[in-house]
Amino acid sequence: MPDAASRPAEPSTIVCPGCGGANDADAVFCADGRCGKALGEFRYVLEEIERGRSRIEKVAHHVARLSGRPHFVTLHLVWFTVWMLVNSGLVAAFAVFDEYPFGLLGIILAVEATLITLFLLISNNEQNAHAEKRAALDYEVNVRTWRLVNKLDRRFDDLAGRLERLESKPNPGGPTR
């Protein structure tokens, strides 16, 4: 952290390093909705996590997010209903391709369940790693803040000491009461 004397003047705007857009001086995130980059002096945990993600982890993250949504259940219910109706011969426009007890559907569901389970496990491991990274970044910010507060505290003590010494000095040229 630079000294007050060497510290540059407070800028009136912050230029986003991501998109180059100008933001208010007190902005925390880039105002551009497509960018949204964190503009702080510290590393932002979600950006750090996103940067460190491998391709398979990105896929696992999206699968875990999608499979936890109510739409996922609705989609499956619609899929099962249509599949069973078609393969029971109730929809004349389509030929039966997977007769009761719907063996092909069973195989597809087994593969889907296996893949989703594996992706959820990857996503779960990733979440644990993220919690550790988040804790490390929180610690970094806390240590920096603690050191800065201590530095300011020492400076205030120093200033108070100087003021006391100045006030206790006899002032021969000063006004007398």
CB of 32 or CB of 98, closer to Zn ion: 32
30 binds Zn ion (CB under 5 A): yes
Angle, CA 23 vertex, CA 21 and CA 29 arms, to 5°: 95
φ, ψ for residue 23, nearest 5 deg: -125, 160
Instruction: Name the one range near Zn ion by CB under 5 A: 28-36, 46-54, 117-125, 126-134.
Output: 28-36
Query: What whole-number distance in Å separates Cα of residue 126 and Cα of residue 116?
Result: 15
**If binding means CB under 5 A, how many residues of this protein chain bind Zn ion?**
8
The span from the CA of 8 to the CA of 1, in Å, is 12
- Angle separating helix axes 55-67 and 103-168, nearest 10 degrees: 110
Q: Applying CB under 5 A, does 130 fall inside the site for Zn ion?
A: no
Q: Near Zn ion by CB under 5 A, which window of 18-26, 70-78, 110-118, 167-175? A: 18-26
Out of 22, 27, 37, 134, the residue judged to bind Zn ion by CB under 5 A: 37
HEC readout, 53-71: CCHHHHHHHHHHHHHCCHH
Interaction between residue 134 and Zn ion (CB under 5 A): no
Stretch that binds Zn ion, among 26-34, 73-81, 122-130, 153-161 (CB under 5 A): 26-34
Where on the chain is the footprint of Zn ion (CB under 5 A)?
16, 18-19, 21, 30, 32, 35, 37
